[in-house]
Amino acid sequence: MSTASVETLAFVRPRDDELDLFGITHPGKVRSSNQDQFLLCTVHPQVVVHGTSLSDTSAISLRGERVATVMLVADGVGGSADGTEASRLATIAVTEYFASAMKCWHAAGASSDQEFTDALRLAAVEAHRRVKERSATAFEGRKMATTLSVGIVVWPWLYVVQVGDSRCYHYQDGQLRQVTRDQTLAQEMIDRGALTPERAHNSPLNHVLSSAIGADEALPELSRVDVSQRGCITLLCSDGLTKHVSDAEIAEECARMTNCEQLCRALMQRALDGGGSDNVTIVAGRALPLE
């Protein structure tokens, strides 16, 4: 195959069998329970045959071409009434909303994708509504909350909707970039120039959320990233990873990765070796590079 052909194929939409996806979660070394959730799934249009005179339905395409790939991390807030239930409800709510809003997928990647980005915000708002409703009925009004970070690849774009401080990273050509912005009091002080990033890392405000699903306020933030280059990595994680593993260390593991499972397990081990003071959840995905 010529060099020109390889370069052209490097930006061709990957097939399902060319996706490398993996997720892992661990309670850590201190907490007795794991309040994190993660989800990896692909979205396809599907034909369900309820009756036919055909003796062989194999000629009918029962599952259409992949529309999207979804990666999700939700980190239940430990100080709330039930962080595990909050993260579970948020995960289910977002998934159900996406399933019911299939008509908007076609708008993703267009010059004007407002319909799609509106749907992403509404999915987070629906998760917020469900968690608050559950809190009011099952926990006598005591708050329960969760972070929510969702990455949706509608090739060649990665859309990210985030509430809280579970992060999304993008790694490409040796460079790691944090796609999301932590919704914490420390980050707000950094934005105002009242705190340096170096001091914020050790500040107690670094883990006080200014926005969360189920809290007083949930403010979904959206980002869009070009992921058309084969081999670029999308990584989502709860703060149980970033409490103990620096961005430089994450980049180091991305540079030496062999596959997404190996990457997630290596990062998990670093978090545990660093103290494992919180639940740790890591999800990674990429289109396999061409040989």
Q: Could you report the per-residue pLDDT of 240-266, keeping only the tens digit for each? A: 999 999 999 999 999 999 999 999 999
Is residue 97 very low, low, confident or very high in pLDDT (cuts 50, 70, 90)?
confident
Token match 């990957």: residue? Answer: 14
Task: Tell me, yes or no, whether 61 lies in a domain.
Answer: no
Task: Tell me, yes or no, whether 54 lies in a domain.
Answer: no
Task: Tell me, yes or no, whether 100 lies in a domain.
Answer: yes
Task: Tell me, yes or no, whether 261 lies in a domain.
Answer: yes
Per-residue pLDDT at 192:
87
Per-residue pLDDT at 150:
97
pLDDT tens digits, residue range 130-174? Answer: 999 998 887 776 789 999 999 999 999 999 999 999 999 999 999
Task: Tell me, yes or no, whether 12 lies in a domain.
Answer: no
Token match 């994708």: residue? Answer: 113
Chain centroid to Cα 174, Å, comes to 21
| CATH code of the domain covering residue 106 | 3.60.40.10
Helix ranges, 76-152 (H): 83-100, 114-138
Task: Tell me, yes or no, whether 248 lies in a domain.
Answer: yes
149, 163, 176, 271, 284 from 249: Cα distances, Å: 21, 24, 10, 10, 15
Task: Give the integer Cα–Cα distance in Å for 44 and 59.
Answer: 18
Instruction: Count Cβ atoms below 10 Å from residue 152 Cβ, excluding itself.
Output: 24
Residue 132 is part of which domain span?
18-40+68-287
Closest CA to 225 of 283, 174, 177: 177
Structural tokens at position 43: 């979205």
Task: Tell me, yes or no, whether 280 lies in a domain.
Answer: yes
Residue 58: exposure state from Cβ atoms within 10 A (0-12, 13-18, ≥19): exposed
- Give pTM, 2 decimals: 0.90
Q: Give percent of the chain above pLDDT 70.
A: 90
- 83-100 and 114-138 helices, crossing angle to 10°: 140
Task: Tell me, yes or no, whether 33 lies in a domain.
Answer: yes
Q: What does residue 154 show for φ and ψ, rounded to 5 degrees?
A: -115, 95
Is residue 107 very low, low, confident or very high in pLDDT (cuts 50, 70, 90)?
low
Residue 280, pLDDT above cutoff 50? yes
Closest CA to 183 of 225, 217, 234, 132: 217
Do residues 67 and 154 touch, judged by C-beta distance below 8 A?
yes
Tally of structural domains, the chain: 1
Q: Give percent of the chain above pLDDT 90.
A: 61
Do residues 283 and 73 touch, judged by C-beta distance below 8 A?
yes
